[in-house]
């Protein structure tokens, strides 16, 4: 395989990965939207939602484990119930 062929092959792989990335981002946006629907937050003020996301981003960045655990505990009642393993 020539160098030019290898470059073309790598460019194709890059394009496929970029397409997969875009697809995963779109799926995640839908998942986040579904969470907003489940929590009845579609009518919430944008500044309130932005503040909540900014607060969460800050806690994740600083790795404030105490508050992260508290937030995850608040989420527990909203998680889908899974069947116990047999």
Per-residue confidence in pLDDT tens, the chain, 86 aa: 899 999 999 999 999 999 999 999 999 999 999 999 999 999 999 999 999 999 999 989 998 889 889 989 999 888 877 755 55
> What is residue 83's predicted lDDT score, i.e. its pLDDT?
59
Q: What is the pLDDT of residue 78?
A: 84
Helix (H) or strand (E) holding 81: none
Whole-angstrom distance, CA of residue 35 vs CA of residue 3? 48
Q: Which residue ranges make up each domain of the chain?
A: 1-43, 45-76
Cα separation, 21 vs 45, whole angstroms = 29
CA distances from 20 to 8, 16, 24, 25, 50 (A): 18, 6, 6, 9, 27
């Amino acid at each position: 395989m020539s160098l030019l062929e290898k470059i073309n092959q790598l460019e194709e792989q890059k394009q496929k990965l970029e397409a997969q990335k875009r697809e995963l981002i779109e799926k995640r946006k839908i998942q986040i939207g579904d969470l907003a629907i489940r929590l009845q937050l579609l009518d919430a003020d944008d500044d309130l939602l932005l503040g909540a996301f900014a607060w969460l981003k800050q806690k994740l960045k600083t790795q404030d484990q105490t508050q992260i655990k508290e937030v995850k505990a608040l989420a527990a009642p909203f998680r889908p119930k899974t069947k116990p393993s047999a």
